Amino acid sequence: MIWKPHKKQEQALRTNSFEILFGGARGGGKSDAGIMWLLYDKDNARYRGLVIRRNATDLNDWIARARLKYEAVGAVFVGNEFRFPSGATIVTGHLKDDQAFTKYQGHEYQKILIEELTQIASEELYMKLISSCRSTVPGLKPQIFCTSNPDGVGRFWVKRRFIERRIPGEQYTDEVSGRTRIYIPATVEDNPTIMQIDPDYINYLESLPPDLKAQWRYGSWDYTIVKGAIYGSDMIQANKENRIGLVPLLPYEEVHTVWDIGLSDKMVCWFFQVKGLEVRVIDIVYDDNKEWGFYVQALRERGYTYGTMFLPHDSNKRDPKSLQTFKEFMIANRFKTESIERPKSKLSVIQEFRPIFPRLFFDLTKCDEGIRALEAYRRQWNETRNMYDDEPYHDWTSHYADALALMPKALEHLKNAMIQFQSGGEEVNIQYNEYGEPVYGY
Contact between 54 and ligand ATP by CB under 6 A: the answer reads no
Q: Which residue, 198 or 328, is less far from Mg ion as judged by CB? A: 198
Among 6, 54, 111, 217, binds ligand ATP (CB under 6 A): 6
**Of 298, 221, 299, 291, residue with least CA distance to 256:** 299
**How many C-beta atoms lie closer than 10 Å to residue 146's C-beta?**
26
Question: What one-character DSSP code corresponds to residue 25?
Answer: S
Q: How far apart are CA 342 and CA 122, in angstroms?
A: 35
Least distance from ligand ATP to the Cβ atom of residue 10, Å:
9
Q: Which residue, 66 or 373, is less far from ligand ATP as judged by CB? A: 66
Return the SS3 of 409.
helix
Residue 6 interaction partner, one of ligand ATP, Mg ion, none, beta carbon < 5-8 Å per kind: ligand ATP
Contact between 5 and ligand ATP by CB under 6 A: the answer reads yes
Least distance from ligand ATP to the Cβ atom of residue 6, Å:
5
Residue 399 interaction partner, one of Mg ion, ligand ATP, none, beta carbon < 5-8 Å per kind: none
Least distance from Mg ion to the Cβ atom of residue 143, Å:
19
Residue 15 interaction partner, one of ligand ATP, Mg ion, none, beta carbon < 5-8 Å per kind: none
**Which residue type is seen at 130?**
I
The window from 5-13, 352-360, 384-392, 424-432 that contacts ligand ATP (CB under 6 A) reads 5-13
Contact between 217 and ligand ATP by CB under 6 A: the answer reads no
Q: Which residue, 155 or 378, is less far from ligand ATP as judged by CB? A: 155
Least distance from Mg ion to the Cβ atom of residue 108, Å:
27
9 to 38, contacts with ligand ATP by CB under 6 A?
9, 26-32
Least distance from Mg ion to the Cβ atom of residue 54, Å:
11
Q: Which residue, 53 or 266, is less far from ligand ATP as judged by CB? A: 53
Return the SS3 of 89.
strand
For 55-208, where are the alpha helices, taking DSSP H only? Answer: 56-70, 123-130, 155-158, 192-197, 200-206
Q: How far apart are CA 50 and CA 67, in angstroms?
A: 15
Least distance from Mg ion to the Cβ atom of residue 154, Å:
16
Give residue number: closest CB to Mg ion: 31
116 to 155, contacts with ligand ATP by CB under 6 A?
149
**How many C-beta atoms lie closer than 10 Å to residue 226's C-beta?**
15
Q: Which residue, 31 or 239, is less far from Mg ion as judged by CB? A: 31
Q: List Cα–Cα distances, 84 to 5, 66, 230, 325, 435, in angstroms.
A: 22, 13, 55, 64, 65
DSSP string, 307-351: EEEEEETT--PBPTTT--BHHHHHHHTT-EEEEE---SSHHHHHH
Residue 118 interaction partner, one of ligand ATP, Mg ion, none, beta carbon < 5-8 Å per kind: none
Strands 89-94 and 81-83: antiparallel
The residue ranges that bind Mg ion (CB under 5 A) are 30-31
The window from 3-11, 169-177, 362-370, 399-407 that contacts ligand ATP (CB under 6 A) reads 3-11
The window from 156-164, 188-196, 221-229, 337-345 that contacts ligand ATP (CB under 6 A) reads 188-196
Least distance from ligand ATP to the Cβ atom of residue 30, Å:
3
Which residue(s) pair with 81 in the sheet?
78, 91
Strands 81-83 and 172-173: unpaired
Q: Using alpha carbons only, give the angle 320, 325, 329 rounded to the nearest 5 degrees.
A: 100
Strands 266-275 and 438-439: unpaired
Question: What one-character DSSP code corresponds to residue 393?
Answer: P
Question: What one-character DSSP code corresponds to residue 188?
Answer: G
Among 16, 173, 193, 351, binds ligand ATP (CB under 6 A): 193
Q: How far apart are CA 260 and CA 189, in angstroms?
A: 46
Least distance from ligand ATP to the Cβ atom of residue 86, Å:
24
Strands 180-186 and 19-24: parallel
Least distance from ligand ATP to the Cβ atom of residue 4, Å:
6
Q: Which residue, 32 or 260, is less far from ligand ATP as judged by CB? A: 32
Distance of CA 205 to the CA centre of its chain: 23
Site residues (CB under 6 A) for ligand ATP? 3-6, 9, 26-32, 149, 191, 193-194
